[in-house]
Chain A
Amino acid sequence: MIKLTVSTLLAIIFFLLVVLFIFLMYLLVQRQRESYFEKVRDRYLQNYSQFWYDYLFNNALFSIVLVPRGSAQVEAIEKIFSSYLKNIRNEQVELKIKQFSNQYLKAFYEKDLSSKRWSIRMNALYRIADLQIDELLTKCQEFEKNNITDEEHFQLLKIYSLFQPDLFMEKIKNSNVNYAESEYRRLFILLDDNVFIRFFHDFNSLSAKMQFAVIDTAAVKRNMEYLDELKKLLHHDTPEINIRALKGLYEIGIIDEMDPFVPFVTSEMWEARLMVAKIFKHVPLTYTYSYLEQLLQDENWWVRSQAAKTIVEDRHGIAKLQQFIESSNDQYAIEMAQEIAARKEGK
């Protein structure tokens, strides 16, 4: 019995060693192929980078030698394009890259889209978006009918948002996949204002994460139209939406009236009180001091701290805080005021 097991074990070890040896051989061959691939790619980069620069920036004539032969050269071109697209904003260059990619790279990515390997398909989807290959839109729609992963679906949404915003709006509203907020932001930030504003029109039909992302994106886009939309959301039933809208308005930094904000000074949520204390940074202290004094005596440490910080930002802030320290009998608030005042003076 034992003898048999010893020989079995020996056989297992032998088998595993053989498998590992084959794997090693495969790796070594693969490495060889990779280094050949890199050599071809680097040679293309070395030989044609200048041609590309002249064609894209100096209006030199397009030369047929730039057309890639094989995937190593495609990768070289990807490198060239991505370095320009990431670092320079130039519509003409973008257009040239788009035209070239549609004409000469389309076939490569179309093939990659039907690859069995997920990572290859993902890379193809990345490139279609980056290089604006809009001629593959129909192919992408067909691709969507396959059994695709959430990541691929996301990438498709990005492609739709770039090439056909109407289709994107339709898809995203009917999408069953729940993405992270940061992912929705990545999709929304690229939309034109006239498309993006539509999210506010049927705001309540969006998922919570999309709603949050819409508010945050609006804050970054800093369009006056969104200011009114965000103010409307201050009356929304969901507290989180109110807080986000306050945060968005703070980030836009244009406060043209006080009334919408005053009720939040006595809000039950400390986060809302904190945001109001922040928003008052954008309003002269004469209008806000009475509220800030109230917030300086808040039960929450963060609110007290923010109120004090907002006060000292004003020209007369330190004097006001000194006045408060002398007249108040709220020990916590006094300590906070003293610390913030000392810090401001120390700087």
Chain B
Amino acid sequence: MKIIDSCMMFFGGIILFYMLFVIVSYCTMFIIAMLDLRKRYRLDLSEYDDAHIDAFYSKPVSLLVPAYNEEVGVVDTVYSLLNLRYPQTEIIIINDGSTDQTLQTVIEHFQMKPINKIVRTNIPTKDIKQIYESEIYKNCILVDKENGGKADALNVGINVSQYPYFCSIDGDSILDEKSLLRVMKPIILSDGEVIAAGGNIRIANGAKMQFGSIYETQLPSNYLVIMQVIEYLRAFLMGRIALSKFNLVLIISGAFSVFSKKWAVEAGGYSTNIIGEDMELVVNIHRLIKEKKENKRIEFVPDPVCWTEAPQTLGVLRNQRRRWHQGLFESLWKHKKMTLNPRYGMIGFLSFPYFWLVECLGPLVELGGYIYIVIAFFLGKIYYEVALMLLLLFVIYGVIFSIAAILFESWSMNTYPKKRELLRMILLAFTEIFWYRPLTLFWRCEGLLRFVLRKSDWGNMKRVGIAEKEKSV
């Protein structure tokens, strides 16, 4: 009995201490984000957009769309790219040996004709079968290649691209017409000191769209999707903005980010043997910056720029989270030597420990907290109080932070302007700690376990296409 007692006290202490630590770090990041966004509140952004719409003030960008069995979504994605307000772009669709009708769909829809194009192999990749050019849109190219995974497809895109910056876009993402202009802003205004920038990702389920542009956003009715909407808001306010301010970003989403081609090529392009290839590239570029002792930055742009389709069923969400977490652990593990290494400055001393402790191992401790509460319930006695305290901390961590994020977002960005939607989100946030949080924690821990067991089968998300979805939701 004594052993159980000391075990309970010990673990209870660790979990409590950990939760306090996480809450304090999130609070700090939230305050930094608030101060940052407050400054821009009500600033007329169209002035900048209109001034920079001219090629004379901007830099050309190659847009890379890797597609593997994306026959449903790929045409919409390309339309949303054609709708972008940006002076000079080329669209490169890379068909990664799809087994469905992706290739034919794109060829037919955009009237693609085979061309001879010289490709400079900056990064070694699988073979290209054929390159096509659209007869309707001259800046639109299709590359048909052997299957080699998303990273390999992106590398082919980099090789084929002719512009100094490239932007990777998931086959299922829809962009706002000003997305690229806004994401390129830090790069243009810093004269290339910023070498990579990622935009804020939003969930598109429930949005109304036509020909690749969103014309009305509304909250989806599926509770699982609303929880993900809240989760995205939190991640953005309590993480990305603050990390970006101090050049500590390790993840800019692969769904929409711009990189300097020169730096990405020098960093070896996307790694093909890893799950989280986007994080891997960012970490490699950070490493390169520090090794070359250059004053370059990677930034996160707070404007919502990219809309993505969120999983609607538990099964698909589970696969996604498991894969994300496995990828995160894999990247951190691969670069573990950067942790607390003075050679890598703040990245080594702040970013890595943060990602290890809060993002990567956090779920394990947190899930431990939930289990602790259940055990304490059965053991009774003094553990009730520790368990109660833990529960209250979960309330702060889950409920309070979520509500704060929803409200702050609604104030600063006006994305979900309807009163009813706002109240619905707040009410749902109260339920988070009882179902959504434990579930995602469990899945993330599964991801950790899978990394340890070296399992690597891919959970492929079944897509129905965002434009179709609005009917089905």
Report A's interface with B, CB cutoff 8 A.
2-3, 5-6, 9-10, 12-13, 16-17, 20, 23-24, 27-28, 30-31, 86, 117-120, 122-123, 126, 130, 180-183, 185-186, 189, 209, 216, 220, 301, 305, 336, 339-340, 342-343, 346-347
Contact = CB atoms under 8 A, between A and B. Distances in A.
Given A20-B403, A31-B417, A301-B120, A119 B396 contact: no
Given A27-B411, A27-B422, A123-B43, A186 B57 contact: yes
Contact of A9 (B43, B117, B389, B410): B389
A123 B385 contact: no
A126 B417 CA distance: 27
A173 B431 CA distance: 60
Given A2-B382, A6-B389, 6 more contacts: A6-B388, A24-B422, A27-B410, A31-B417, A126-B47, A182-B189
B136 interface: no
A9 B392 contact: yes
Contacts of B395: 13
B58 interface: yes
A130 B417 CA distance: 30
Instruction: Please give me the 4 A-B residue pairs with the lowest Cβ-Cβ distance, nearest first.
Output: A119-B43, A9-B392, A182-B57, A180-B191
B389 A2 contact: yes
Given A27-B410, A220-B56, A180 B189 contact: yes
Contacts of A20: 400, 403-404, 407
- Is chain B's binding surface mostly helix, strand, loop or mixed? helix
A117 B43 CA distance: 10
A221 to B, nearest CB: 11
B340 interface: no
A346 B115 contact: yes
B191 A346 contact: no
Contacts of A30: 411
A186 B389 CA distance: 58
Given A123-B42, A126-B44, A185-B56, A13 B396 contact: yes
Contacts, number: 95
Contact of B189 (A10, A183, A185): A183
A28 B117 CA distance: 57
Contacts of A183: 189
Contacts of B361: none
Interface in B361-394: 382, 385-386, 388-389, 392-393
A186 B51 contact: yes
24 contacts: A2-B382, A2-B386, A6-B388, A6-B389, A9-B392, A9-B393, A13-B396, A16-B400, A20-B400, A20-B404, A27-B407, A27-B410, A31-B419, A117-B42, A118-B43, A119-B40, A120-B42, A123-B42, A130-B47, A180-B188, A182-B191, A209-B191, A343-B117, A346-B115
B261 interface: no
B43 A122 contact: yes
Contacts of B57: 182, 185-186
B418 to A, nearest CB: 9
B39 interface: yes
A343 B116 contact: yes
Interface string B416-450: 01010010001000000000000000000000000
Contacts of A117: 41-42
Given A27-B422, A342-B116, A123 B44 contact: yes
B271 to A, nearest CB: 25
A13 B433 CA distance: 15
B323 interface: no
B190 interface: yes
B37 to A, nearest CB: 11
B373 to A, nearest CB: 14
Contacts of B400: 13, 16-17, 20
B407 A24 contact: yes
Contacts of B188: 180, 182
B49 to A, nearest CB: 11
B50 interface: yes
B56 A189 contact: yes
Contacts of A123: 42-44
B385 A2 contact: yes
B389 A5 contact: yes
Contacts of A305: 118
B190 A182 contact: no
Interface in B348-369: none
Contacts of B51: 186
Nearest to B386: A2
A339 B190 CA distance: 38
Interface in B28-49: 39-44, 47
Contacts of B325: none
Given A123-B44, A305-B118, A118 B39 contact: yes
Contacts of A220: 56
Contacts of B388: 6
A272 to B, nearest CB: 18
Interface in B72-130: 115-118, 120
B52 interface: yes
A119 B417 contact: no
Contacts of A182: 52, 57-58, 188-189, 191
A16 B401 CA distance: 10
Contacts of B189: 180, 182-183
Interface in B243-291: none
A122 B417 CA distance: 25
Contacts of A3: 385
A19 B393 CA distance: 17
A346 B39 contact: no
Interface string B314-349: 000000000000000000000000000000000000
